[in-house]
């Protein structure tokens, strides 16, 4: 735990958690309309704290280190230093990183990353449309779509383990089947794809009218998207959506994905027969919950 000058206590590592996130930076080269953690100027103490944590903790075989931001790869040398620390202190650990993938459009950066990253590493790349203009509108920076696509191709050249993450919003919900087809045709080398419900906090609150769509509205489109990838024998999942907002035939694809510290259930969920399997809701979304959340 960290105790700030204002007396606020922050839990930075949970020994019993299956996954522990390390916030390396809050700076980012995108400004996604639904980002739960708006970009900020880099605070170097975040990176230094992450290094200290990695030097102090003992990581069990069933635990995962999650490198997140902001955009971790923008740290350049500090990012590579973090990889070195993990390799030195936790060489057998499982590591995943959340990224927009744009830094990997640079082949030399990708090559260096591959030479330094821990052995068991999963790169989770955000891609929100099959159309460049739609993706760029969502992430707030023109040219991002092509950089992300190039980054995915460069990672594939080194046979890296890649996951594609699609956050569903009002802007792209009607294109989920097209997005799935695009991914299946252009990135068949990925090991996992997930469609994710939104966390309504941060910029998602600021842009609520633009990005929010009740998952109940796109459940049929989501079903078609999942079918495209599963029929192609690609590993596909649904994150962050309660089972009652997903068609029953898709329940086997739904995962308990919300971080423990911001995960809960509504009072109405107490009588639900599938509560133990359901991912529940984001407490950080406050009152922004679907009226279609009902016991099954």
Digitized pLDDT (tens) for each residue of the chain, 296 residues in all: 466 666 666 667 777 778 889 999 999 999 999 999 999 999 999 999 999 999 988 888 888 999 999 999 999 999 999 999 999 999 999 999 999 999 999 999 999 999 999 999 999 999 999 999 999 999 999 999 999 999 999 999 999 999 999 999 999 999 999 999 999 999 999 999 999 999 999 999 999 999 999 999 999 999 999 999 999 999 999 999 999 999 999 999 999 998 887 889 999 999 899 999 999 999 999 889 999 999 99
138, 169 contact by CB (below 8 A):
yes
Structure tokens at 114: 């591959």
Q: 95 lies in a domain?
A: yes
Q: 77 lies in a domain?
A: yes
Structure tokens at 112: 């260096």
Q: 173 lies in a domain?
A: yes
List the CATH number of the domain containing 25.
3.20.20.70
Structure tokens at 258: 């919300």
Q: pTM above the 0.85 mark? A: yes
State how many domains the chain has: 1
240, 197 contact by CB (below 8 A):
yes
Q: 278 lies in a domain?
A: no
User: Residue 159: which of 194, 185, 122, 108 has the closest Cα?
Assistant: 122
Q: 294 lies in a domain?
A: no
- Residue 56 class from Cβ within 10 Å (0-12 exposed, 13-18 middle, 19+ buried)? exposed
CB atoms within 10 A of CB 55: 11
Structure tokens at 176: 């989920």
Q: 293 lies in a domain?
A: no
Tell me the residue range of the domain where 219 lies.
Answer: 16-261
Q: 267 lies in a domain?
A: no
CA–CA distance, 188 with 236 (Å, rounded to integer): 12
Give the pLDDT score at 8.
Answer: 65
71, 25 contact by CB (below 8 A):
yes
Q: 7 lies in a domain?
A: no
């Amino acid at each position: 735990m960290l105790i700030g000058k204002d007396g606020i206590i922050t839990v930075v590592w949970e020994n019993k958690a299956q996954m522990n996130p390390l916030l390396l930076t809050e700076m980012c080269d995108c400004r996604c309309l639904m980002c739960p953690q708006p970009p900020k100027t880099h605070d170097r103490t975040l990176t230094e704290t992450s290094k200290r944590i990695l030097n102090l903790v003992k990581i069990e075989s069933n635990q995962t280190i999650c490198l997140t931001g902001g955009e971790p790869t923008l740290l350049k040398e500090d990012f590579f230093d973090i990889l070195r620390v993990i390799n030195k202190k936790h060489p057998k650990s499982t590591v995943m990183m959340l990224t927009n993938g744009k830094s990997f459009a640079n082949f030399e950066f990708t090559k260096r990353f591959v030479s330094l990253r821990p052995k068991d590493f999963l790169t989770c790349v955000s891609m929100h449309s099959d159309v460049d203009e739609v993706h760029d509108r969502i992430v707030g920076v023109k040219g991002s779509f092509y950089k992300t696509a190039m980054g995915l191709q460069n990672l594939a050249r080194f046979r890296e383990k890649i996951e594609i993450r699609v956050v569903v919003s009002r802007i792209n919900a009607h294109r989920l089947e097209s997005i799935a087809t695009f991914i299946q045709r252009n990135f068949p080398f990925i090991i996992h794809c997930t469609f994710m419900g939104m966390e309504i906090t941060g910029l998602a609150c600021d842009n609520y009218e633009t990005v929010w769509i009740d998952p109940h509205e796109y459940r049929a489109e989501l079903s078609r998207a999942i079918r495209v990838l599963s029929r192609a024998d690609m590993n596909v999942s649904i994150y962050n959506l309660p089972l009652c907002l997903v068609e029953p035939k898709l329940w086997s694809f739904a995962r308990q994905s919300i971080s423990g510290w911001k995960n809960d259930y509504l009072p109405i969920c107490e009588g639900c027969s599938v509560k133990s399997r359901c991912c529940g809701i984001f407490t950080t979304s406050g009152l922004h919950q679907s009226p279609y959340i009902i016991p099954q």
